[in-house]
Amino acid sequence: MKRILCILMFLPFVFASCVDEDETLGMDLVDENDKFEVGIYDRISMNAIFFKEDSLVTLNYRYNTLGEYSDSKFGAVKSSLFTQITLSTPSAAFNTYDNIDSVILTLAYAGGFSEDTMLSGKQMRLNIYELSEEIDSTKKYSFDNVACSSLPIYSNNIQIDYNSDVIIESDTLDPHLRVKIEGEFFEKIKNFGGSNDDFVSQFKGLKFELTKLDSRGLMAYIDMEATASCITVYYTQGGTHQKYLIKIPTSGNRFMHYDYDFTSSDISSLSNNDTIDGNDLIYLGNMGISLAKININDFKEDWLSTVNQGNEENDVSINSAILEFPVSDLSQINNPSFTSRILCYRKAVVNQDTALVLIHDAQTASRRKAFFGFESYSQRTEQHNQACTN
């Protein structure tokens, strides 16, 4: 889930078709009944607003954001992780091991975002807390929270480097966050013996919090389903060094919690207002920062009265429809983590409930140099617009 660091200038839909330079060439060879007209329609009137997402589901995503990032345009956003942990076998008896050497917690990186792509890493404050209540199935939104212990089981400044391999003795491992767990949590694992149900009852889960130590911070992307995302118990039994994995379950409960601070940002009024006018500039930020709504309610009526010449049933086919979003702020345009695409949804009534349905032909949106000279996101929407006219 990548942070969108762009401001979008808004342009209307453009409907375009290919037209020969000589529109009459070969027309005398076509039967009169088979002829059709080709034209351009660019009259769509639209109104736009943008607003903060208030019911963002973050439950059980494979890729999670962890960190804190701040800039002058979107303000600050902070993402914390809550997750269950389970045994990798039906039961375990750590309390029977000859000796537990260490407990190592690792989270596999899947990339990240910072303002400087040349940075090899950055110091951040990592806090890990043990949960004091279970994560039930109702905890699925970015505003949800779960009670945890007041004191962290781990708290330290660490180097976050999601681009570099990790060297452990003679082994070279993929980039990951790696910390050693000690103290009361270590002792709690050391003294455990029982079934997985017993383990889940005693170890209700963990909260991960990564906070910035400078003015900007960074956001790390975590692959929660990678084999490297786990807790490894290194122990000695019968004179042999062995290890046991405590897993982050793929079918368990985990979610991301987001906190926002729009103070002193370009969209500071989102702190007090539900929506902001977007007819001039649209601010799009993921992680629930802001969404945009475009109203084209007058499109069908105008289409039928002008293009379709007043006929109630549409008999005109849309050959090509392009939704163009020029990017106004290009300061981060060359950042590899800059937004790769924008998704479009339409409002639909499903079983008497209002829902957002993905416009599938708009998924292939790509960033390109637009005909008016700016970098832009161009999305084909002919299927959606054709459906609107029928």
Contact between 362 and 384 (Cβ < 8 Å) = yes
Mean pLDDT of the region 146-173: 94
Predicted local distance difference test score (pLDDT) of residue 329:
73
Mean pLDDT of 70-83: 92
pLDDT of res. 334: 66
Residue 97 has pLDDT above 80, yes or no: yes
Query: 202 with 192: CB under 8 angstroms?
Result: yes
Of the given ranges (126-135, 183-192, 334-343), which has the lowest mean pLDDT?
334-343
Condensed to tens digits (0 to 9), the pLDDT of residues 206-243 reads 999 999 999 999 999 999 999 999 999 999 999 999 99
Output the CA angle 69-175-220, nearest 5 degrees.
15
pLDDT of 28 reads 56
What pLDDT does 118 receive?
A: 66
CA distances from 301 to 14, 317, 384 (A): 17, 16, 16
**For residue 3, what pLDDT band results from cuts at 50, 70 and 90?**
very low
Q: What would the mean pLDDT of 356-377 be, rounded to a whole number?
A: 64
| Residue 374 near residue 326, CB atoms below 8 Å | yes
Q: Pick 270 or 107 by higher pLDDT.
A: 107
Lookup result for tokens 């767990």: 181
Taking the C-alpha atoms of residue 128 and residue 371, their distance in angstroms, rounded to an integer, is: 50
**What confidence tier does 12 reach under pLDDT thresholds 50, 70, 90?**
very low
**Mean pLDDT, to the nearest integer, of 151-165?**
95
The position carrying tokens 């409002």 is: 347
Q: Are 218 and 114 in contact (CB under 8 A)?
A: yes
How far is it, in rounded angstroms, from Cα 53 to Cα 274? 10
Residue 385 structure tokens: 């617009």
The neighbouring-strand residues paired with 255 are 82
Which residue is associated with the tokens 């109702």? Answer: 138
H or E stretch covering 199: helix 196-202
For 71-85, what is the mean pLDDT? 93
Q: How far apart are the C-alpha atoms of 335 and 218, rounded to whole Å?
A: 13
If you average pLDDT over each of 22-26, 307-311, 343-347, which comes out highest? 343-347
Asked if 335 and 5 touch (Cβ cutoff 8 Å), the reply is yes
Q: What is the mean pLDDT of the chain?
A: 82
- Of the two residues 287 and 97, the one the predictor is more confident about is 97
| Mean pLDDT of all residues in 166-186 | 94
Is 9 a residue whose pLDDT tops 50?
no
